[in-house]
Structure 1
Amino acid sequence: MKIFTPILALIFVVGLANAAFADDLVTEMPDCPKFDFDMYSGYLDVNANKSLHYVLVESLGDPANDPILMWFNGGPGCSSMLGFMQENGPCIIDDGENFVKENPFPWNEKANVLYLEAPAGVGYSFARNKEDMESNDLQSSHENLQALKQFYKKFPEYQENDLFISGESYAGIYVPNLAYRIHQHNTMSKINKRTPINLKGILVGNGATKWEYDTTPSYLEMAYNHQLMDTELHNTFVENGCEWYFRDVLPRKANEACEKAKKTFDENTKRINWYDIYRKVYDDGGINKERVGKTIIDGEERYYPRGYKMTDYTPWLEDIYGESAPILGDYVSDYLNRPDVRDAFHIKKEIHTYKACAGGDLTYHLQKEGSHWIYHILKSNGIRILKFSGDTDGAVPTYGSQLWIRDLGWDVVKDWHAWLVDDQVAGYQKEYDGLTFATVHGVGHMAPQWKRKEVTQLINDFIHGE
């Protein structure tokens, strides 16, 4: 009997694991072609009051051995289902379209992609008490680590797979902070003999990192270099030492000349898509300012905001755009509020409606430290780093990313050079001792959506070391 006891115990544990995620299996995704891989959707409890929604899309290649690639959208307060539905998931909805179609370049080509909606109150994730709808950079990183631990409990077969953490925009804060939490966890694992997390690298696209440079400070320089202002206006900003920061996370100095110049600039650029200065502005021309959708949930009529204005995703733009703010993701919200879609993704009744961005439902406190300080720690622990940047983004411009990377003081291993897709320049790369920086040519903030083939190749090459 003693000989068979470990085997019986193993069977019992495997049985529990299978039971843990069997109810999360997505058997079909409405309006999406039948897929040749397994997909799961459910909840990961981070504490007694908060549950974060996840989607796992298993690899089309070798799911047993391919890496886990974790994805976060930004905000703070915007849903990672935006990435799933518009950027890198198996089926997608493009800007201005009202139908679902197959993604020819999904990120699960060679990876098991794990989407996590964080913090609680974002998308399908929820907190059971209103007072728990509050977070900051450190708290969210702690809860994201707890969610990852719960994921491995549900899917223990992935515990040994390489882990890469990715995201865009404000995920430039989320991703390194979670990596730092994992570093702390792994350090303690050596002491308490617990299983370490097999983190191998991070990937951040157009990610906020250092507030001295990111968002408005770099946008003004980027706008000048793309002829969105003349030399006289630019000189006014420079000569007066004008400063603006993301939601005033840092103290700033301004004067009357600065404010007047900024007002002029904002007026001249209010019909420019800040996420991609050459891209169409999607709005409704004021026809339906309410932009409210209606659905039936648990037998009751429920209303929700359709899509998200840039002022939801980047609230500091409200003074720039006013009611003409570009609106993206309309049909994404419609789709994710459909009862059949909610059923397919096993969405809990606590979620009345899906919102692309949490808005007033979540109070998020920014922290001035950003994430720049974490990069030295990651490098010293052998964590590989890819920073990619769509080069026509005004929200987190390439110019600012180059400035904070310069501040790291790392040696250049390979200087600025083109990288190609289909014999065309897809962007440029610069390799440092500890980090690869890559631009994505001719595209803005949502590079994984607007240059799918190029970015998917970039991601695959990085995580597989090709």
Structure 2
Amino acid sequence: MWWSLLLLCVGGALGYYAPDEILSLPGLNTQLNFRQWSGYLQASTGQHLHYWFVTSQQDPANDPVVLWLNGGPGCSSLGGLLSENGPLHVNDNGRTLYINEYSWNKMANVLYLESPAGVGFSYSDNRNYATNDMELTATAYNGVGFNEISTTAPCTSVLYHGAKLWKNLNTYCCLGGSCNFVTNSNNNCRESVYKVFTILYNSGLNMYALYMNCAGGVRGSNLQFRTELKNLFRFYQFEVPEKPATLSSNVPPCFNDTAQRTWLNRADVRKALHIPDFVQTWELCSSVVSANYQQIYDNMQDFYLQLLSKGLRALVYNGDTDMVCNFLGENWFVQSLNQKKTMDYQPWIYRNQIAGFHERYGNLTFLTVKGAGHLVPEWAPARALNMIRSFLANAAY
């Protein structure tokens, strides 16, 4: 999915980076109690991945490092820094920065990595930005669940969210209590499934936060819609609308990146971040990377199981109004790993209110954030900070 997250708690920084400290930032008029660096990781021959590293406000020498990646594929982690869990956010006009009181660097060092090359300020010497799962994991780690579940869950969720599509889905895709939305040869089923994803991705509904307004209002189809259908529905081979000429970038539907894009493309900001003049203009998502990305793996179960077998702790969390990274599908995926349940599904509490629900399977926790969409740290910042603090401390939520 376009906006993916992987948290890695490790004892040191990722790879080698030059000491390109950020000494000042245009639009920031306050003293900071942490340090920052911006520069490039030499990921492989000719590939230069831009990073922005912020130290913990608490104990940088001993606090963990959180690696933040955005998915897509082809979207920049600086979107997460400047609007979600980073210490500095950009105001609406894109001219000034303000302090985010719910920043995750309150208790952790955070590394924001723009990956793969071609995303944000990252680049390659040959400007060839066609890549795939294997090449991407050679330079960074990214997450995906199980495409079959990712396809089935939204079809099931329309029943619970008031979309009048379930009757046809049930009639044409289900038989004897079993439903197949993924590889069904019934043409009526295929048409019904296509309508579900057209509504989610292409109707003007905010598929990332179902009950929020869609930034920019209803608009035409977009490249992200085509990419998602291409990845999810390999069996069906749907014909999907072309990208309209009026959309200049691969900004996901219902998102407004104007403030971040305006600020990051200022000449004085680029200089402060040590971005060379020849590097491309910053965009939230790269249409070139997205259009040329080859997905190899449909199922990450084996990878999760390998990590869990080594004793690593994992947290899978979802805002429960997000229809893209759907909480129902993510829960099914976690259950499909067949780990022994050690805590039943139950609410977690923040400030004397139910903040969501969670359950545990040994070192693996599944958690929802009530009323939040795709960008949990942006739309539920206090609860997100409490969540990540509990995870890092291995404490109760």
Shorter-chain TM-score above 0.5: yes
Is the counterpart of residue 451 in structure 1 residue 380 in structure 2?
A: yes
Deviation at 1:30, TM superposition (A): 2.0
From 346, 354, 371, the equivalent of 1:425 is 354
Residue in 1 that maps onto 2:11? none
1 or 2, which has the higher helix percentage? 1
Deviation at 1:435, TM superposition (A): 0.3
Residue in 2 that maps onto 1:315? 227
- Amino acid in structure 2 at the alignment position of 1:351: V
After superposition, the C-alpha distances for 1:355-412 in whole angstroms (9 at most, x for unaligned) are 2111125621101343221111111111111111111111010111111111111111
- 2:301 partner SS: coil
Deviation at 1:416, TM superposition (A): 1.1
Deviation at 1:424, TM superposition (A): 0.9
Matches within 5 A, 1:176-191: none
Residue in 2 that maps onto 1:29? 25
From 297, 308, 312, the equivalent of 1:368 is 297
From 220, 224, 230, the equivalent of 2:159 is 224
From 210, 224, 234, the equivalent of 2:169 is 234
Residue in 1 that maps onto 2:149? 213
Is the counterpart of residue 75 in structure 1 residue 61 in structure 2?
A: no
Residue in 2 that maps onto 1:256? 187
After superposition, the C-alpha distances for 1:102-132 in whole angstroms (9 at most, x for unaligned) are 211001000000111111111110001033x
Is the counterpart of residue 341 in structure 1 residue 269 in structure 2?
A: yes
Distance 2:321 2:276 in 1: 39
Distance 2:324 2:274 in 1: 34
From 94, 98, 101, the equivalent of 1:101 is 98
Q: 1:20 to 1:282 in 2, by over 3 A?
A: closer
Q: 1:453 to 1:332 in 2, by over 3 A?
A: same
Q: Percent identity?
A: 29
Distance 2:78 2:172 in 1: 38
From 251, 257, 262, the equivalent of 1:329 is 257
Is the counterpart of residue 416 in structure 1 residue 351 in structure 2?
A: no
Q: 1:67 to 1:27 in 2, by over 3 A?
A: same
Matches within 5 A, 1:333-412: 333-361=261-289, 363-412=292-341
Distance 2:269 2:105 in 1: 21
Residue in 2 that maps onto 1:277? 210
After superposition, the C-alpha distances for 1:324-366 in whole angstroms (9 at most, x for unaligned) are 9424212211111111110111112331311211112562110
Distance 2:111 2:265 in 1: 21
Q: 1:51 to 1:68 in 2, by over 3 A?
A: same
Residue in 2 that maps onto 1:142? 138
After superposition, the C-alpha distances for 1:72-114 in whole angstroms (9 at most, x for unaligned) are 01101111111111111111247x7655432110010000001
Distance 1:379 1:264 in 2: 37
Residue in 2 that maps onto 1:124? 121
The two structures, once aligned, show a CA RMSD in angstroms of 2.7
Residue in 2 that maps onto 1:152? none
- Amino acid in structure 1 at the alignment position of 2:167: E
Residue ranges of structure 2 left out of the alignment (5+ in a row): 1-15, 230-239, 248-252
Deviation at 1:48, TM superposition (A): 2.6
Distance 2:299 2:93 in 1: 35
TM, length-normalised to structure 2: 0.82
Q: How many residues align?
A: 356
Q: 8 Å contact 1:68–1:114 — kept in the other structure?
A: yes
Deviation at 1:423, TM superposition (A): 0.9
TM, length-normalised to structure 1: 0.70
Of structures 1 and 2, the larger Rg is shown by 1
Q: 1:356 to 1:254 in 2, by over 3 A?
A: farther
Distance 1:340 1:55 in 2: 16
After superposition, the C-alpha distances for 1:182-236 in whole angstroms (9 at most, x for unaligned) are xxxxxxxxxxxxxxxxxxxxxxxxxx3111101x321111122111225423323
Matches within 5 A, 1:195-206: none
Distance 1:213 1:285 in 2: 28
- 1:46 partner SS: strand
Distance 2:100 2:314 in 1: 26
- Amino acid in structure 1 at the alignment position of 2:312: I
- Amino acid in structure 1 at the alignment position of 2:332: L
Q: 8 Å contact 2:204–2:217 — kept in the other structure?
A: no
